[in-house]
Amino acid sequence: MLFRKKKTAAPRVIPTHIAIVMDGNGRWAKRRGLPRQAGHKVGAEAFRTIANYAKSIGLSYLTVYAFSTENWKRSDEEVGAIMELLERYLREAIADMDKNRVRFCFFGDLSRLSPELREEARIAAERSSKYEGVQVNFCLNYGGRAEILRAAQRFAAQCAAGEAKPEELTEQRFSELMYSAGIPDPELVIRPGGELRISNFLLWQSAYAEYYFTDVLWPDFGPKELDLAIDAFNHRNRRFGGAK
């Protein structure tokens, strides 16, 4: 009897950690003749959908750039609208926590945020720490360079206090001084919105990440686009500096 070997596609690998620059909200709104805030509102919904999808496909960590250290340069109206959206999102996330069971973590200097938003971030992180499954890291008032400087200052303070010596510093130890301490580096960094730059996002952690850029604007970025990014990741030949 002739057996034809059944062709089975290799199972696709889901990265452990995906990071996303949620870009293109403003243009999405402009194309529709709407204020930029309207784009952020739909962008927040896009995030909700992606977070749920990430959980359903077994992703462990999803890190999103929600507000950068540079975003304060925008109009008060726009900054206020983004902050309001974040507050509302966190309030709802806290209320629905037992249903969604997503762990929340925050990267960035939260001291410049409103006391209300800070308190919601604190509650969300504290109450969700018990859940297993996907962890969402919100980058708020976050900048990659600022994060590296903060880690350097923390290490310098340890040295000054006699708790460490400069020659003891290793990449591993430095990583533990980042906001992302204990979290594996992202294997895949996605930037929708058509710009081919990384804009101060996870500079230390993405040393060996695969980048995926798409023209799709963030409010239109759904599970299908995340699948395309993961498929592209599956076709990359990751060598980490080794030979082909």
Which residues carry out catalysis? Answer: 23, 71
Comparing CB distances to ligand FPP, the nearer of 85 and 189 is 85
Task: Give SS3 for 229.
Answer: helix
Q: How far is the CB of 138 from ligand FPP (least distance, A)?
A: 7
The CA distance from 143 to 141, in Å, is 7
Q: Using the minimum distance from each CB to ligand FPP, give the nearer residue, 92 or 227.
A: 92
Residues 6+ apart with CB under 8 A from 52: 100
Q: How far is the CB of 36 from ligand FPP (least distance, A)?
A: 6
CB of 43 to ligand FPP, least distance (A): 3
Q: Which is nearer to ligand FPP, 38 or 151 (CB)?
A: 38
List residues bridging with 105 in a β-sheet: 137
Of the pair 40, 55, the CB lying nearest ligand FPP is at: 40
Long-range contacts of 120-128 (CB under 8 A, 24+ apart): 120/87, 120/90, 120/91, 120/94, 121/90, 123/90, 123/94, 124/90, 124/93, 124/94, 124/97, 127/94, 127/97, 128/97, 128/101, 128/102, 128/103, 128/104
**Distances in Å between the alpha carbon of 190 and those of 112, 157, 205?**
27, 35, 14
**Residues near ligand FPP, by CB under 6 A:** 22-27, 40, 43-44, 47, 66, 71, 82, 85-86, 89, 193
By Cβ distance, which residue is nearest to ligand FPP?
A: 26
The CB-of-161 to ligand FPP minimum distance in angstroms stands at 37
